[in-house]
């Protein structure tokens, strides 16, 4: 279903993604982090929906459709390293930094910080080119807002 999209995303020099493709790729990354502890909790799904709503100003039907597509893409996407490197090359830094905050919100949505989620988020932040300090600051902001 997403073969052409993944081919473009993981090309040796991916072009800047159109907005719709960037939304899909970044939402798939949110889904991947949520699933990393082996449990895709309703609270994590709700947090993904909230992140999509805030970031992209979509209505409920569009949010559900985007998340559903992202769930399929996440299953079909290559390993996290190739996937995040491709996103880094194709998505503007400001968007990647905002995604780190959204990722922390998803990790913390179920009230638990699983070691698998922490490890994946540390790796993803680095692969997206986001400094550890910036990631920690984003986590603290999210924790304070909960």
DSSP 97-129: HHHHHHHHHHHHTTS---HHHHHHHHHHHHHTT
Q: What is the pLDDT of residue 112?
A: 82
Distance CA 93, CA 91 (A): 7
Specify burial of residue 26 (Cβ count, 10 A radius: 0-12, 13-18, 19+).
Answer: buried
All structural domains of the chain with their residue ranges: 18-145
The alpha carbon of residue 75 and the mean position of all alpha carbons in its chain are separated, in whole angstroms, by 13
Q: What is the pLDDT of residue 21?
A: 78
Distance CA 73, CA 23 (A): 12
Q: Is the pLDDT of residue 25 over 90?
A: no
Tokens of 93: 């830094």
Q: Is the pLDDT of residue 14 over 60?
A: no
pLDDT tens digits for range 87-141: 787 777 787 888 899 899 999 988 888 888 888 899 999 999 998 999 999 999 9
Q: What is the pTM of this model?
A: 0.79
Q: Who wins on pLDDT, 112 or 8?
A: 112
Confidence band (pLDDT; 50, 70, 90) for 12? low
Q: Who wins on pLDDT, 1 or 41?
A: 41
Task: Give me the CATH topology for the region 18-145.
Answer: TerB-like (1.10.3680)
């Amino acid at each position: 279903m997403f073969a052409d999209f993944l081919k473009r995303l993981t090309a040796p020099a991916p072009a800047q993604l159109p907005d719709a493709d960037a939304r899909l790729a970044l939402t798939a990354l949110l889904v991947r982090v949520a699933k990393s502890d082996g449990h895709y909790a309703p609270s994590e799904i709700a947090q993904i929906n909230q992140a999509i709503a805030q970031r992209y100003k979509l209505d409920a039907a569009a949010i559900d459709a985007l998340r559903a597509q992202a769930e399929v893409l996440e299953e079909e996407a290559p390993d996290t390293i190739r996937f995040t490197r491709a996103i880094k090359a194709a998505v503007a830094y400001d968007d990647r930094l905002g995604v780190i905050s959204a990722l922390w919100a998803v990790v913390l949505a179920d009230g638990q910080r699983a070691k698998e989620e922490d490890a994946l988020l540390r790796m993803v932040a680095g692969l997206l080119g986001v400094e550890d300090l910036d990631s920690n600051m984003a986590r603290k902001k999210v924790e304070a807002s909960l």
